[in-house]
Structure 1
Amino acid sequence: MSNENWLIYPTVDLFVYDLADGIGQNEDKISQNRELFLQKIYGDNISALQREQLKQAETETSDYIELLKNPNTAEFEPPLDGYAYPIKLGDTYAIQFDFSGNRELEEDKLLAPKEIDCLESLKQQVISRVNSPATIGQSWFISGQLTADDQDALTTAKNCYTKLNLFPNAVWDRDLQTEGQFLGANFYELWQPPGDKGNISQNHHVLICLFPYNSGQSILVLSKAFEEFYTHLIILFAYRNKVIWAYTQSRQLKVRLKDSSGKIQQFVNQLLAQVNSPTVDLKELQKNLVDFLTISSAYASNISGLEQQENTIKTNLINYQIRLKTISQKMGTDAKDFKFMGKFSIFVKDKYVWQVESDNRSLSGGLRLLENAIQTIEGIIEIERAKSDRTLNVTLGAVGVGIATSGVYASVYAGQIKSAQNLDVNTVFWSSIGWGFVAGALGAIVLIAIGKKWR
């Protein structure tokens, strides 16, 4: 077997990111988020003390909070050589799982070459601890030392990728995004981005780091310089995964907005048919107004959400670029040392940012169409109400004239009752009604004529 299938101290790290407190989430939802994250640290055996300690740790006013104190890691149970390191970055939970197999007390056994077939079992052990899937995303980091000076790093990395079996239908040449050297180690970044259906579980990402053999120099010495690197890496991957998560959220919003756009167009077509009909059904218009207001509220909320995701993508992309510079400046010998990881920034600018900006521009038009339709319906309803008010006023006016005339006629005859003993009361009553009706009819004609004149 070639030495390209062997590594010294192969180690698997998984960085998992979960939403801690999203926009609009209440205390119950935030507590649920905390509980799910605690399960990643302790499994199902969570004590009340551990819940309270995590809750208290979150109250710190810092963008980088270590959620465990003294020690700041949760060690895997013996004989496993691994730990979980949980932190909180702003509104995001992050946890690093580090695992390299069984603990070896003797350095010779610890640093003895191992077949890279072991990477599969290391990966499965880590996955078993994650419990619920990451809500924002996750990234893998695979590291190890070459076993000889003449061992080919590229071939070894390809073999690691195949044995890990992390990606569905993995193809090295397609999935390789970038490669470079940093602090003497060879890096290979591979990624399968999620599709445009908004499924974050389709996001697969791994960074493979292979230390040189250096004539047998201990990997423990080589990796010592990487202790600070892990701190930068957990932050860098957080920004990266937040960008991808925000884009998948925007794809879900786009689907809902496009579906609403179709309904809006249907409503508008129905409205045009109603407006052009000989008679207008006021009740139907009022029902349409309620429907338009309902869909308008949901549509505006989704447009606002799309804008928020656009801002999230842009903000985290900037933070990702700044962190790359920070890593190079603080750890590299050259300011450009870690810049090979900047290919992700180019991809995000060219695809994610451009796409979401374009969606925002095109889909915002539906909101303006809704606003115009609502104003149109409200205007028609006001016109119809005004017509109804005029008809009512004409009727009331005619009745008023009739009643007044009847009253006058009845008063005249009432006066005659005192002087004419033989006056028939029934005649007086029906005569007043009759004259009132005639007067009311004449009044209605006059009021209608006046109304037509002033329309």
Structure 2
Amino acid sequence: MNDFDFEVYAPNFHSFTFKVHTGIDKNLQTISCDRKWILDTYNPIVEQLGDFPRDTIKLREETPKNTPFSLLDYRKNARLFDSDNGNLESNKPRRKLLVYPQQFDDSYSLSLDLFIPETPETDKINREKIKQFNPNNCFQIDTELGQTFLITAFLEENNSQNYEKIANYCLHELLSISLEEIETKLYRQGEIFDSNILEYGYPKEDEFHAVVVFFTDKSNSEKLEEVYWELPSLFLYHHKIINAYADSRLDYHKLDNQVAKIENLVSSIKKQDNTKNSQLSELELDNYKDTLKELLNLSLDYSQTLRNLQYYQNTIAINSHNYQIKLNKIQTISNNDLDFFARLIDKEWITLQEQIKADLSYFNQGNIILNRGIETIRGLIEIDQAKSDRLR
């Protein structure tokens, strides 16, 4: 398979990167991120690309009332730059770079589209040159909220049967991820605008997200271009959903461990409760008090973690609704049902909510056991105190 080679035409490499700029994290700490994050992310990428002008974008200072809005200090939403064709030593084809930064209610979005314009005989690249689109992995940004990679290109008819294999190799070369790992990340495939589309990254298991679309007709690519400006918000909601679910799994395991501790402590109460009518010894009383302290400490942490789980369920519900609204808008613009993306709502987003709902039902039972354990120990201590008072 290593000798597998292919050619794609007029490739576009899109990167949609997201960052929370205001809010509260899961540890109840305030989040505050300056708009400078856009420049700090964008400038190193341009520097690595090497054939685009640097320090060319300025950010607006004012904040419009309605979001989302472009962060560029221009009347245009985005800026388009041409590569420096005078650098003949670079051996790079003529490329363009579209820059589209936005601010949402609580997040930033930096959308970049690096592409070779459609031109006869000069827009063709082979597998080896795909790496030039992401030198030193400069497009891969470490951000908690997430990043979506979108590759679009034209394939000749004789290559259309190998589109899955070609898609895997494109991501392998572009992102420097092993071919085996890319193949395991392939989540599903289908059609969009009469073109093949493949999506990578399982929503329940992986925060990685990449999409590859192969066109065979120019009119199909134009349909995607019509809705391009709506894609950042659609992918933003996607990442908010899968991030909330990933965080819920961390709290799920935390609660599961806490339930085990609660059951052990409650079991220890039953073993200690052999006094019946006799008075507790000083050692037994101290053991009960220590157990009560542990349960009270667990109770606070358990309640907070349970609340987090409810928060993640609500977050998924809200962003699933936002995803649906945005998809409806894209469907209207493109006059297409976009069933490939619509299926996510019914197949995944609802399933994630139902999973957390089931978790909450289970762990609420643990809360009942915890409270009963606390009440039992308090009762035993109060009874022992009453016995002591009678003796005195």
TM-score interval (norm. to shorter): 0.7 to 0.9
The residue aligned with 1:323 is 326
Question: Which one of 55, 58, 62 corresponds to residue 66 of structure 2?
Answer: 62
**What is the Cα deviation at residue 262 of structure 1?**
1.0
The residue aligned with 1:229 is 227
Question: Which one of 92, 98, 101 corresponds to residue 86 of structure 1?
Answer: 101
- Conserved in 2, the CA contact under 8 Å of 1:9 and 1:110? no
The yes-or-no answer on 1:276 pairing with 2:282 is no
Tell me the secondary structure at the aligned position of residue 230 of structure 1.
helix
The residue aligned with 2:299 is 296
1:248–1:288 CA distance, 2 compared to 1 (3 A): same
The residue aligned with 1:452 is none
1:193–1:224 CA distance, 2 compared to 1 (3 A): closer
Spell out, residue by residue over 1:337-387, the C-alpha distance to the aligned partner (whole angstroms, 9 max, x if none): x12222322331574233222111111211111111112222223333333
Tell me the secondary structure at the aligned position of residue 117 of structure 1.
helix
The residue aligned with 2:238 is 240
- Conserved in 2, the CA contact under 8 Å of 1:178 and 1:341? no
Q: Structure 1 length as normaliser, TM-score?
A: 0.68
Spell out, residue by residue over 1:177-227, the C-alpha distance to the aligned partner (whole angstroms, 9 max, x if none): 132132xx514122232665xxxxx433322223334xxxxx6x8755544
Q: Counterparts of 1:163 and 1:359 in 2: how far apart (Å)?
A: 39
Q: Counterparts of 2:383 and 2:315 in 1: how far apart (Å)?
A: 46
Spell out, residue by residue over 1:272-313, the C-alpha distance to the aligned partner (whole angstroms, 9 max, x if none): 223323542434333322221111110111111111111222
The residue aligned with 1:158 is 165
- Conserved in 2, the CA contact under 8 Å of 1:87 and 1:95? yes
- Give the stretch that moved more between structures: 75-84 or 91-100: 75-84
The yes-or-no answer on 1:307 pairing with 2:310 is yes
Q: Counterparts of 1:175 and 1:25 in 2: how far apart (Å)?
A: 30
Spell out, residue by residue over 1:380-424, the C-alpha distance to the aligned partner (whole angstroms, 9 max, x if none): 2333333334444xxxxxxxxxxxxxxxxxxxxxxxxxxxxxxxx
1:33–1:263 CA distance, 2 compared to 1 (3 A): farther
1:94–1:279 CA distance, 2 compared to 1 (3 A): farther
The residue aligned with 2:89 is none
1:322–1:158 CA distance, 2 compared to 1 (3 A): farther
- Give the stretch that moved more between structures: 319-328 or 169-178: 169-178
1:382–1:83 CA distance, 2 compared to 1 (3 A): same
Spell out, residue by residue over 1:77-133, the C-alpha distance to the aligned partner (whole angstroms, 9 max, x if none): 9536324422233323222122126xx8xx8589532224322331346x41444x1
**What is the Cα deviation at residue 24 of structure 1?**
5.2
Q: Counterparts of 1:44 and 1:35 in 2: how far apart (Å)?
A: 15
The residue aligned with 1:41 is 42
> Which protein is richer in helix relative to its size?
1
Tell me the secondary structure at the aligned position of residue 30 of structure 1.
strand
- Give the stretch that moved more between structures: 84-93 or 135-144: 84-93
- Conserved in 2, the CA contact under 8 Å of 1:139 and 1:206? yes
Q: Counterparts of 1:29 and 1:349 in 2: how far apart (Å)?
A: 27
Q: Structure 2 length as normaliser, TM-score?
A: 0.78
Over the matched positions of the two proteins, sequence identity in percent amounts to 23
Tell me the secondary structure at the aligned position of residue 383 of structure 1.
helix
Spell out, residue by residue over 1:241-299, the C-alpha distance to the aligned partner (whole angstroms, 9 max, x if none): 22111111111001100111111111111222233235424343333222211111101
- Conserved in 1, the CA contact under 8 Å of 2:24 and 2:30? no
Q: Counterparts of 2:195 and 2:134 in 1: how far apart (Å)?
A: 21
1:124–1:176 CA distance, 2 compared to 1 (3 A): farther
Q: What is the total number of aligned residue pairs between the two structures?
A: 358
Tell me the secondary structure at the aligned position of residue 378 of structure 1.
helix
Q: Counterparts of 1:271 and 1:366 in 2: how far apart (Å)?
A: 16
Q: Counterparts of 2:208 and 2:59 in 1: how far apart (Å)?
A: 32
Q: Counterparts of 2:28 and 2:294 in 1: how far apart (Å)?
A: 32
Q: Counterparts of 2:312 and 2:250 in 1: how far apart (Å)?
A: 11
Q: Counterparts of 2:19 and 2:215 in 1: how far apart (Å)?
A: 31
Q: Counterparts of 1:27 and 1:360 in 2: how far apart (Å)?
A: 21
1:123–1:41 CA distance, 2 compared to 1 (3 A): closer
**What is the Cα deviation at residue 143 of structure 1?**
1.3
Equivalent AA in structure 2 for residue 120 of structure 1: K
1:383–1:34 CA distance, 2 compared to 1 (3 A): farther
Question: Which one of 92, 97, 101 corresponds to residue 112 of structure 2?
Answer: 97
User: Which structure has the bigger radius of gyration?
Assistant: 1
1:151–1:325 CA distance, 2 compared to 1 (3 A): farther
The residue aligned with 2:339 is 339
Higher relative contact order (CA 8 A, sep 6+): 2
- Conserved in 2, the CA contact under 8 Å of 1:143 and 1:210? yes
1:294–1:53 CA distance, 2 compared to 1 (3 A): farther
Tell me the secondary structure at the aligned position of residue 152 of structure 2.
strand
**What is the Cα deviation at residue 156 of structure 1?**
4.1
1:100-249 → structure 2 map (5 Å cutoff): 100=115, 108=119, 111-124=122-135, 127-131=137-141, 133-146=142-155, 150-156=157-163, 158-165=165-172, 166=175, 168=178, 169-170=180-181, 175=186, 177-182=188-193, 186-193=195-202, 202-213=206-217, 226-249=224-247
Q: Unmatched 5+ residue regions in structure 2?
A: 47-55, 85-94
1:16–1:270 CA distance, 2 compared to 1 (3 A): same
1:228–1:222 CA distance, 2 compared to 1 (3 A): same
1:111–1:326 CA distance, 2 compared to 1 (3 A): farther
Q: Unmatched 5+ residue regions in structure 1?
A: 197-201, 214-218, 393-455
